[in-house]
Homo-oligomer: A and B are copies of this chain.
């Protein structure tokens, strides 16, 4: 931490600031400039993080030097984190697609979607049982019944399943039925929930909050990891800005920035970022090009009849086209695309 004093700071004020720093076991180092004296704090920054230096007389600005996250930081891990999801290994050379309906509406639609997702090279099926909805009057999911349908398709079709958990009281039940637990954007800073999913042994797909910085996202991952669960997939899904032409503003740059800052895998959600069907392909392809490890995408047998998000889900036909179109971009990015992966172990290994 670096503390810059005001031009009019007195020696006594500077002494008191130093005492404050040294009281928590951190050494200080003074550098007197023409206008400002700079107090360098040498050592662990954590004990200083909570101290209200800006309140102390004579202080002008405080600059943090060390990153506030540790376990999530790139430096913490020798290699990128790889997370197994059925046959796929997220975070390595494969480009992984998780797809399915926004909400689970019944058995038939779920099983037909699972078949299409598998056939098109998807690694796992997504489907919401508990749905966070902005309006209390919207469809909020089938709840436990939805979870059971999810468990059944996972068993029958042999496809891994991903579903959202919204309430600390449901974490255990969801972890029992699903392969990956999703934390939605609106719960990214629901710290009780983060701690709770940190205590289970299931990968977590953590979506970036609409007003969260990249640093906030990494700190939310840190909450989970600090409890022992190191399998966190980060997911960019758009932030809130003044632009109204799209539902959110897809912060594509977050992908390369996260790949540089952390060892955790990075996904993108082109469906929610854009909010309209036509944007899924350009945003999804751009995410591959920018270095993402995978996508989570909505597809539905009949979007026009969907109980939620009907305007943005791909039809099965569009989904198949989307997956086929993804391959050359994945290859251009030096990845093994979703379809070539299904072509057999041989092509896989030759590509690797």
Interface centre among A33, A63, A241, A310 (most CB of B within 10 A): A33
A144 at the interface (CB under 8 A from B): no
How far is A271 from B210 in the complex, measured between Cα atoms in Å? 23
Interface centre among A249, A286, A303 (most CB of B within 10 A): A286
A276 at the interface (CB under 8 A from B): yes
Beta-carbon nearest neighbor of A255 in chain B: B282
A250 at the interface (CB under 8 A from B): yes
Q: How does the 8 Å CB contact mask read for A25-60 relative to B, with 1 for contact and 0 for none?
A: 000010111111010101110100111111110000
A243/B332 contact (C-beta < 8 A), A56-B304, A219-B136, A282-B290 known = no
A191 at the interface (CB under 8 A from B): yes
Copies of this chain: 4
Q: Is the CB of A219 within 8 A of B52?
A: no
Q: Is the CB of B257 within 8 A of A249?
A: no
A91 at the interface (CB under 8 A from B): no
A291 at the interface (CB under 8 A from B): yes
Measured CB to CB, the closest approach of chain B to A304, in angstroms, equals 5
A100 at the interface (CB under 8 A from B): no
Which residues in B have their C-beta under 8 angstroms from that of A216?
134
Which residues in B have their C-beta under 8 angstroms from that of A133?
191
Which residues in B have their C-beta under 8 angstroms from that of A118?
none
Q: Is the CB of B35 within 8 A of A31?
A: no
Beta-carbon nearest neighbor of A57 in chain B: B304
Which residues in B have their C-beta under 8 angstroms from that of A52?
303-304, 306, 309-311
Which of B43, B211, B283 makes the CB contact (< 8 A) with A34?
Answer: B43
How far is A299 from B7 in the complex, measured between Cα atoms in Å? 29
A148 at the interface (CB under 8 A from B): no
A209 at the interface (CB under 8 A from B): yes
Q: Is the CB of B253 within 8 A of A246?
A: yes
Which of B7, B192, B254 makes the CB contact (< 8 A) with A167?
Answer: B192
How far is A139 from B32 in the complex, measured between Cα atoms in Å? 29
A109 at the interface (CB under 8 A from B): no
Binds B, one of A149-157, A182-190, A338-346: A182-190
Measured CB to CB, the closest approach of chain B to A122, in angstroms, equals 20
A68 at the interface (CB under 8 A from B): yes
Which of B43, B68, B242 makes the CB contact (< 8 A) with A240?
Answer: B242
Which of B69, B260, B286 makes the CB contact (< 8 A) with A286?
Answer: B286
How far is A310 from B56 in the complex, measured between Cα atoms in Å? 10
Measured CB to CB, the closest approach of chain B to A144, in angstroms, equals 14
Measured CB to CB, the closest approach of chain B to A273, in angstroms, equals 7
A9 at the interface (CB under 8 A from B): no
How far is A25 from B147 in the complex, measured between Cα atoms in Å? 32
Which residues in B have their C-beta under 8 angstroms from that of A290?
282-283, 285-286
- Return the 5 tightest CB-CB contacts between A and B, nearest first: A52-B310, A211-B211, A328-B332, A286-B286, A186-B189
